Amino acid sequence: MTQSFDAIVIGAGQAGPALAGRLTGAGMKVALVERKLFGGTCVNTGCMPTKTLVASAYAAHLARRSAEYGVGIASEIAIDMKRVKGRADTVSTNARTGIESGLRRMDGLTVVQGHARFVGPAAVRIGDETLTAPRIFINVGGRASIPDMPGVDTVDYLTNTSILKLDAVPRHLVVVGGSYIGLEFAQMYRRFGAEVTVVEKGPRLIGREDEDVSEAVREILVDEGITVRTNATCLGFKPHADGVAVDVDCTSGEPVVVGSRVLLAVGRRPNTDDLGLDAAGVTVDARGYIVVDDGLATGVPGIWALGDCNGRGAFTHTAYNDYEIVAANLLDGAARRVSARIPAYALYIDPPLGRVGMSEAEARRAGRPILVSKRPMARVGRAIEKGETKGFMKVVADAETKRILGAAILGVGGDEAIHGILDMMNAGAAYPTLQWAVPIHPTVSELIPTILGDLKPAG
Ligand SMILES: Cc1cc2nc3c(=O)[nH]c(=O)nc-3n(C[C@H](O)[C@H](O)[C@H](O)COP(=O)(O)OP(=O)(O)OC[C@H]3O[C@@H](n4cnc5c(N)ncnc54)[C@H](O)[C@@H]3O)c2cc1C
């Protein structure tokens, strides 16, 4: 059977549903195809369940520290992992069903469930049904990448998806990959009571960040009893009577770590290998990401790629912004460009790391004369009052234009406070603009004018 539409959206992730809303609102007859769970990664196996689990882990951590606040808890702190999981499942399920029912009620939209595959530049097939449209929007996201490491197929490993099904705390969780996803799981499971070892191939954790950020994050995790093994260049896996044996180092240190479970968190890959892109003539880069221009159009007229699958962002807010760019250009006559987006994101360990723009190392590499200012959270009143003084805030600015180039706030409230700087950067304002601002006391954000006032030429 063949059906014709004005537009087809493949994937109900973070861009697809909103785009379907705009297209149908503009009077188009639209089909949206989803092969699995409405809401995609963020809602089902990414941001929402993990941040819900992080909140449970924070509650456990604070309960253990309660005496420091003068609060007595009579019994031992116990983790009911079934209830912890149930809470995360409820948050995800509510969001997923909300998205699905919104789509099914949408005037002008046909929801199709199944795996879509291109059979031509204007046609996709789902089972024995063919859909055609002059406009096709690909929002297929990505999945955990499974490295081709010795022995990986011989062990029962976890990914960010399967770890969410655990309803008991593993005795010893080995997290392979010391980057954003791995570190969030590492800290939360430590707080749930597991022994945790993080194994990282590179010389430091979150290697894309500045060295001082990596080091402060390592200290935060080690302080909580997490073992961090960096320079693990010789990774391999073997089944073991107690779970999984992970080879971590060929040269120094304990060569093998035995964990009861192992989580692979070594990166993501786009869901583009099973999409029949060849049949449409859509090209991908060496890592499988769909090649797009600055307006997110592929090289094939009438086909766009949005979200994680285009390699231009790896976050929910970037996927959603892709929708905004495509919709504005197509329906509002705008000329919005993805390259105008200022990169911003957070790492949700506790305390969180809020990041925007360039790191200090990137700014130095760009060869600009830069100003840098840094302040430990131990000198932030709000952090002292809350008893959460780990981390620091750092801002990097261009010495000539006085524009902020980037910032990192690793500390309590860092994921929120960073927006003061992100807003300044989006407004294109020079940093002295904030000098006479009167922020609210006591907040972490109130130190932003102070830290800007302390900017000094980088040594
Ligand atoms: C553990 C974890 C934690 C994260 N935490 C955060 C966070 O805190 N903040 C943040 O901003 N980001 C976070 N992310 C990243 C975020 O989840 C993704 O960037 C975001 O979901 C990308 O959205 P998307 O629309 O591109 O794709 P997705 O959300 O992955 O959606 C793609 C959809 O397409 C469907 N699909 C794929 N192929 C086909 C096909 N051939 N036919 C039909 N349907 C198809 C999939 O089933 C899926 O529903 C996290 C990710 C992970 C894994």
DSSP 155: S
The 10s digit of each residue's pLDDT in 382-394 is: 999 999 999 999 9
Asked if pLDDT for residue 249 goes beyond 80, the answer is no
Give bridge partners of residue 290 from the DSSP assignment.
Answer: 284
Mean pLDDT, range 402-409, rounded to an integer: 97
| Catalytic site includes residue 441 | yes
| Ligand 1: nearest atom to the Cα of 33 | 43
The 10s digit of each residue's pLDDT in 216-231 is: 999 999 999 999 999 9
- Tokens encoding 181: 């996803």
Contact 264/158 with Cβ under 8 angstroms? yes
Residue of 180, 189, 272, 316 to test ligand 1 pocket, by largest number of atoms within 8 Å of CB = 316
Asked if pLDDT for residue 253 goes beyond 90, the answer is no
| Ligand 1: nearest atom to the Cα of 40 | 49
Confidence of residue 361 (pLDDT cuts 50, 70, 90): very high
Distance 143 CA to ligand 1 centre (A): 8
Cβ within 8 Å of residue 375, ≥6 positions away: 392, 393, 394, 447, 450, 451, 454
pLDDT of residue 81: 98
Catalytic residue among 115, 240, 419, 441: 441
pLDDT of residue 176: 96
H or E segment at 89? helix 81-105
Confidence of residue 252 (pLDDT cuts 50, 70, 90): low
106 alpha-carbon distance from chain centroid = 29
pLDDT of residue 334: 98
Q: Whose CA is nearest to atom 26 of ligand 1?
A: 307
Confidence of residue 459 (pLDDT cuts 50, 70, 90): confident
The 10s digit of each residue's pLDDT in 282-299 is: 999 999 999 999 999 999
Ligand 1: residues with CB < 6 A are 10-15, 33-37, 40-42, 45-47, 50-51, 115-116, 139-142, 160, 181, 271, 275, 307-308, 314-317, 319, 348
H or E segment at 239? strand 236-240
Q: Whose CA is nearest to atom 3 of ligand 1?
A: 46
pLDDT of residue 251: 67
Measure the CA angle with vertex 250, ends 249 and 251; round to 5°. Answer: 95
Distance 14 CA to ligand 1 centre (A): 7
| Ligand 1: nearest atom to the Cα of 41 | 29
**227-229: strand order across its sheet:** 227-229, 195-199, 172-176, 261-264
pLDDT of residue 153: 95
